Amino acid sequence: MTAAEHEVPRLRRDFAALRADFPALRQLVHGKPLAYLDNAASSQSPAVVHEATALQQRLNHSNVHRGVHSLSERATAAFEAARDKVRGFINAASTKEVIFTRGTTESINLVAASFGRRLAPGDEVLITWLEHHSNIVPWQLLCERSGARLVVAPIRDDGSLDVAAFETRLCNRTKIAAFAHVSNALGTINPVAELTRKAHAAGAVVLIDGAQAVPHLRVDVRELDCDFYAFSGHKMYGPTGTGVLYGKTAVLETMPPYQGGGDMILTVSFERSTYNALPYKFEAGTPNITGVVGLGAAVDYLETIDFDAVRDHEHALLEHATRRLLADVPGAKVVGTAPGKAAVLSFVIDGIHAHDLGTIVDREGVAIRTGHHCAMPVMDRFGVAATARASFAFYNDFGDVDRLIAGLHRAVEIFRG
């Protein structure tokens, strides 16, 4: 074997070349090239993901795990291969710790419904003011059922978490601490390893909402030492309707099934049922097989990319966008200025509603998100009804940013003459 054959493949960092892998970015919107800046809601998918899902539907469409015919065996092999790819991607100890769900929301609901059964009156669930509704409402429902209390740690004026206040709210009544790795509304990156250590010291189990982190940061669940980590396929360049709940084996083994049905059982009689091993105990019914195969393809794609370069590129885009917004757009104000935040730019412009901004820049071919971003407490904290949000991915470039600023100029012209 030659030296070249022994060479480890170089990670890709040519973002102009990577952009060409995404067919959606080549289209026109209202007759203008698309500048897609709504990646915190859903990222676009590369052609390899489309090809993987098409192949699964075209040739390998069959149910998994229960068939002995060739199509079922191929579908099962592809489905379980995706599980192992996810395991490696987040450095889980075993495929038993990788549970496929419909997304971050279902992953969190699974933990609240299953692990949460042990909570009782007087117990507490600690979250932060930064959370997406998906990391608030399931805990509220749990507290209503169990009599436990929901406790919220505050954030500072720049959108960063008050870590000292988080720590003071931890006590022997705290059974679950749940917090975002990265805020979808502000881009704040939480010190999740530190928060996990503090929560464990108080005896709490930790769930991290990683929906906004996994596409942009290298995540090592064993290094973080969290008990649960939840994320979604559609934010990491994969299909919608796919997601993952990572859970430590020792914790998952103690939890009852989330839903009943096929594939999560070993035996069923009218007297009692016995349950399947991990991870299948938590995967009742026919899963989104095609979506999971596509998620595996997205993981394969991400494994070829230099995440350090991604961080630098996206940070440069954020800095450029922030500088131009504040210098060139009259009345613009950034909401969320935490140090070292992720590439999320939330902003308001005096006298112009966020929805109007979104509508006008769309006519210029620029896609941004407007509204409360499923984070209404964050909006309340900053005294705004809604923000406009531009969120960046590695396939974005400075031209996308400049077209956003031009679209915002157009909005100012329309509303101010």
Task: Examine the residue annotation and report whether 226 is marked as an active-site residue of this protein.
Answer: no
Between the two ends of the chain, the Cα-to-Cα distance in Å is: 70
Distance CA 244, CA 97 (A): 10
Query: Annotated catalytic residue: which of 143, 171, 226, 374?
Result: 374
Instruction: Compute the distance between CA of residue 28 and CA of residue 189 in angstroms, rounded to an integer.
Output: 34
Q: Are 366 and 404 in contact (CB under 8 A)?
A: yes
Residue 229 and residue 252 in contact, taking contact as beta carbons nearer than 8 Å: no
* DSSP structure class, residue 182: B
Of 106, 302, 155, the closest CA to residue 219 belongs to 302
Return the structure tokens found at 224: 């973080």
Residue 44 neighbours by CB under 8 Å, 6+ apart: 22, 24, 25, 36, 237, 393, 395
d(CA 100, CA 255): 16
The span from the CA of 229 to the CA of 220, in Å, is 10
SS3 content of the chain, % helix, strand, coil (to 5): 45, 20, 40
The catalytic residues are 374
